[in-house]
Amino acid sequence: MPTYKLLIAYDGAGFHGYARQPGVRTVQAELETALAPHTGPVDSVVAGRTDKGVHAAGQVVSFTCSEAVDPARLARSLNSRLGPEVAVLDVSEVDAGFSARFDAIERSYEYRVLNREVPDPFLAATSWHVDAPLDLEAMNVAAGAFVGERDFASLCRKAAERATVREVRSATWRREGDLVVYAVTASSFCHQMVRSMVAICVDVGRGVVAAAAVPAILEARDRHAARGAAPAHGLTLVAVRYA
């Protein structure tokens, strides 16, 4: 049976996350409904199960179906049915056994903070408005504490029998005009991990928390030691890398 890989982007505002859930609208459910006329029922696999309100610019999905499909024709049909909320950027046939989730070796996210006194209605859906001045240098010191293999229990929403050790390969803040952007790459992330990183770093940038305190927050391995989670709508999955 042929296996296909989709590269997709979506605006997460209208969805209750990526993964299929009963009684709510999700990206997976909409995508699989749009696939069905071409492939029959499929159970797709995703590289990163984004939360409610989180966006994607480079999400990867794989699925297997009983008969071959024309990738170009499938892409046109999916974009017609799902756009503009969901865009299918590429469809390709891949080796049998390929898994968008288990074959991924890196996932990269960006979080955008609008850092100025006045809000911007054109950025409100994709950035967190923080009007207090932010110390970018201190925020980068804080982010440096995340790099390496760490137990991120303090930054992850608790889930029974799920490991919280992750390897973060890079974590940096940069300024782009009024936007302050957090770019982070890891082998994988646990639930709310990136948004919790952002919340801590923003508090460091505002002078509420010292950058030097971040290692101790991680070492506590206690969700109550952290600073909550930044709003979901500022977060975007930007890329997934495969060997």
Residues known to be catalytic = 51
Q: SS3 letters for the chain?
A: CCEEEEEEEECHHHCCCCCCCCCCCCHHHHHHHHHHHHHCCCCCEECCCCCCCCEEEEEEEEEECCCCCCHHHHHHHHHHHHCCCEEEEEEEEECCCCCCCCCEEEEEEEEEEECCCCCCCCCCCCCEECCCCCCHHHHHHHHHCCCEEEECHHHCCCCCCCCCEEEEEEEEEEEECCEEEEEEEECCCCCCHHHHHHHHHHHHHCCCCCHHHHHHHHHHCCHHHCCCCCCHHHEEEEEEEEC
Cα dihedral value 196, 200, 206, 211, nearest 10: -160
User: Closest Cα to residue 150, out of 204, 226, 55?
Assistant: 226
Torsion sign (Cα): 204, 210, 216, 217:
negative
